[in-house]
A and B are shown apart, each in its own frame.
Chain A
Amino acid sequence: MYGMVNQAVESLVRSRFGDDAWETIKRKAGVDVEVFVSNHGYSDDVTYQLVDAASEVLGLPPDDVLHAFGEYWVLVTAREGYGHLMSAGGNTLAEFLTNLPDFHTRVALLFPDLRPPRFAYSDSSPDGLTLHYFSHRPGLAAFVKGLLSGLGKMYDTPISVTQTAVKADGADHDEFAVRWGTAAA
């Protein structure tokens, strides 16, 4: 997993729950990493264990934790590291989402070992689209929802996300019906 994701977990916990909570979570997760390097690839287990430990220590369901991490990743972590690129990604949420596949395409080119997810969209319309999420990592749909929610906040645009296909239930990949603006209401 991209180190930046783990950074998001760390940063969120530290900022909202304190350094002691983070040390407790790390200890409980059995993770002995002093600093997560953004573009370094870490074992997926690290992320999963951190999420599980955070869920236990913070008393939140794992999906809520993942959702919070997704939002935080967009609003804080990614903007710290890729703020200018993200800002240049589009003037609107719709524009950004249509550029989203290219972001990950470039990441895949730059860091082939990271095996980043792949995004695609279809059914694009002025008030929504269908986002396709392809990943070999299970259980991260809530994280994607958090990302989308964060993007809505970033563009100050109301957004609704409904998962319409679940890979864990046998679908080929996860699909999300994304609506924004008045359509999200």
Chain B
Amino acid sequence: MTDAGFALGPSQTETLFPFHLIWDDDLRITQVGPSLQRLFPDLLAGAHLLEHFRIDRPHGISDAASLRAHPHRVFILEHTQSKVVLRGEVVPVGPPPGLAFLGSPWLRDPSDLAKLGLRLGDFAGHDATVDMLQLLQTTATALKDTQRLADRLDERSRELRQANEALRASETRYRTLLEQSPLGILTMALDGDVTFANRRLVEALGGRPEDVLGQAWRRLFPLGLADAALAELLRVGTGQSSLNIELPLRRPDGSTGWVSLTGAVLADAQGNPEGFLVIAEDITSRKDAEAAMARARDLELQVASRIQETLLHGRAPKTLPGLTVGEFIQSHTGVNGDFHDYYVHTPGVIDVLLGDAMGKGLPAALLGAATKARCARVVGRLIFEGRGRLPEPRDIVARLQRSLGPQLVAMESFVTMVYLRLDLTEGTITWVDCGHPGLLRLRRDSGEVELLKGDNAPLGFGASQSFSQEVTRFFPGEVLVVFSDGLTEQRNSVGEMFGTARLAAVVQAAADAPPDAMAMGIRDALSRFGDVSFGDDVSCLVLSANPLRLTEPHCIAETFPASPSSLVGIRRFVRRFLATAVPGDAPAEWEETLLLAVHEVATNVLNHGLEPGTAGTTLNVAVGSTPEGVQVLITYEGRPFTPPETVTLPDLAEFPDHGFGLGLIAGATDGADYGTDAEGRRTITLTKRFPRPASSAGPHP
């Protein structure tokens, strides 16, 4: 190795080239590196190189000379038995002259180490084989990482694909749901452009899809309300409110409709608003139904109002002898359950009914009308049953309760009412209070207002069949206020009730006003007090008693049993009439003398005019007046009576046993005519002129 200037001792050679191999010029192996020896234990000194190795590179090597001819070339020796390849180069060594192979096993994979039983310590430190193996391992690891990454990507890709398929399926379902939804649905960008609209929405808007998609929101609702809706949506976007509005719309074909819109914000993954979802419900049918219902309600109110006008509130008779009426009726909903009526029996005898059926609106109005009608029928029926005798108010109410009460109970309803009778001839008020707030009487003597109350239950409450009535005086110049509880229970803004005391104060303050002015005063006071619309039905009647005088001719008639017990009734009947007919300036004895004559005539008829065995016959008494005077006609079936030509009152000092009656009649009247009518009945007509000059009109029985 002197020519190369390279000289290493055996130990150094073994350390630096543990896989070296040295042979002589005969290619006989002279030295084997320790690692190579361990790798090929049968490789012994003296063996021929080519017995163990094939020189793969360079080609054509067969002796030492050709080996020496390739300095600095890569030599590859293949172990012929194990096929292990050694890589290195051949350098001359000596003396003795020879050649040394300096290299190491060519390993292509770290696993070759284990296969060959090699350790890293078998390689020299300068040998890059381990580095290459480490690099190979690193590359393999990187490839493994790459494969792992690819596997993970495949997995993710598969998951993504599945997710996409699921998303597509979900989107298909979502689209189907949207398209099949009975509600109109649209999505809209923040700028108001419609990005999606389902079929139902397009139908609701009456257009084609191209009329909706891509259109600005406000163009869909040309009535100008879209801006407000969009403003609401933007507020939705800021989380300040939710969209829930109803908008009118005009479709391309000119028809109109309504939609109800509810909205929500569509947000991106970061929660930032990116658009809106609007659900539109075609509420045209509902709106039409509401309009129809409103019309029906109006119609109902109109009907109810007609009921109220025609059935609930009776008109005060134009002529109420001795009575002036003022009234105001105010209903809560245009129609109410309050009702009232007047029954004029005779001049100066008037019944007044005022009631309040439970509830509001048409049902209450119908109930009130039914009660009022039933009451009128009861009054008529009782008069018929009493053969013209006027029934007491309590009997009227009791009959009404019997007639109507069970039906009210069945309907779970009730009626409060007051039934009162003004008898101006007697100067009395008789009333039956059934759960009513009472009556107010403005007294003539003291100027005080008196509350008149009763304690009967409302009609329809329980099974009570008897009612109590109250009686008090009522004179000309006095005022009676009849009202429903809606008046005194009217509340103001702080919940305070108007109350009876406040009403009494208004009545007292308006004591000198005519009844209609007093009624208006009460209404105004109530309006000022509440400063709100009336919360309940209010009915108020103001009845003012006047001196009972008639100026128009009129007459009345009544039939009495032909019995002495009828004398009182006949007298009262005539007295009532006279109370309305006799001028106020007539002296009291004028009326009393006529009554005396009537009594005498009736007595004579009962005692002498009837045929024997004529029990059950009747006397008919008719009394009439004109501005000139009064005539009383008594008709009966019996014996005729012919009075003497001249009738004078006998001398009482002679204690006469007869003729007294005829004389009294003659003295008390201006004439007594005895005759027979067209039907053969006997008649007696008494005529008495008023004490002052009369008009040209004649008597009018």
Interface residues of A (CB under 8 A from B): 3-4, 34-35, 37-39, 81-82, 84-85, 87-91, 95, 99, 102-103, 106-107, 109-111
Contact = CB atoms under 8 A, between A and B. Distances in A.
B19 to A, nearest CB: 15
Nearest to B156: A34
Nearest to A87: B114
B142 A88 contact: no
B148 A110 contact: no
Interface string B130-161: 11011101100110110011001000100000
B366 to A, nearest CB: 74
A39 B144 CA distance: 11
A145 B110 CA distance: 27
Interface in B109-136: 109-111, 113-114, 118-121, 125, 130-131, 133-135
Q: Which among B109, B134, B135, B156 has the greatest number of chain A C-beta atoms within 10 A?
A: B134
Interface in B76-135: 109-111, 113-114, 118-121, 125, 130-131, 133-135
A8 to B, nearest CB: 13
Contact of A110 (B109, B111, B119, B138): B138
A87 B113 contact: yes
Contact of B133 (A34, A38, A39, A85): A85
What's the dominant secondary structure at chain B's contact region?
helix
A99 B121 contact: yes
Contacts of B118: 88
A37 B133 contact: no
A49 B118 CA distance: 40
Given A81-B141, A90-B121, A110-B135, 17 more contacts: A3-B145, A35-B148, A37-B142, A38-B138, A38-B141, A38-B145, A39-B138, A39-B145, A84-B133, A88-B118, A89-B119, A89-B120, A90-B120, A95-B121, A103-B134, A109-B131, A110-B134
A69 to B, nearest CB: 18
Contacts of A87: 113-114
Given A87-B113, A87-B114, A106-B131, A81 B144 contact: yes
Interface of B: 109-111, 113-114, 118-121, 125, 130-131, 133-135, 137-138, 141-142, 144-145, 148-149, 152, 156
B145 A106 contact: no
A85 B131 contact: no
A99 B141 CA distance: 21
B119 A85 contact: no
Contacts, number: 74
A82 B149 contact: no
A82 to B, nearest CB: 5
B152 A84 contact: no
A88 B149 contact: no
B120 to A, nearest CB: 5
Contact of B141 (A35, A39, A90): A39
Contact of B142 (A38, A85, A91): A38
B152 A35 contact: yes
A95 B138 CA distance: 22
B113 A88 contact: yes
A99 B120 contact: yes
17 contacts: A34-B149, A34-B156, A35-B152, A38-B142, A39-B145, A81-B141, A82-B134, A82-B137, A82-B141, A84-B111, A84-B113, A87-B113, A88-B113, A99-B121, A102-B120, A107-B134, A110-B134
Contacts of B144: 38, 81
Nearest to B144: A81
Given A37-B145, A110-B138, A85 B114 contact: no
B175 to A, nearest CB: 33
B145 A85 contact: no
Contacts of A106: 130-131, 134
Contacts of A90: 119-121
Nearest to B118: A88
A7 to B, nearest CB: 8
Contacts of A91: 119
Give the 10 A-B residue pairs with the shortest CB-CB distance, closest first.
Answer: A84-B110, A88-B113, A81-B141, A35-B149, A38-B141, A37-B145, A88-B120, A84-B111, A88-B119, A106-B134
Contacts of B113: 84-85, 87-88
Given A37-B142, A38-B141, A110-B138, A85 B149 contact: no
Nearest to B152: A35
Given A99-B120, A106-B131, A109-B131, A88 B137 contact: no
Contacts of A3: 145
A106 B129 CA distance: 11
Nearest to B113: A88
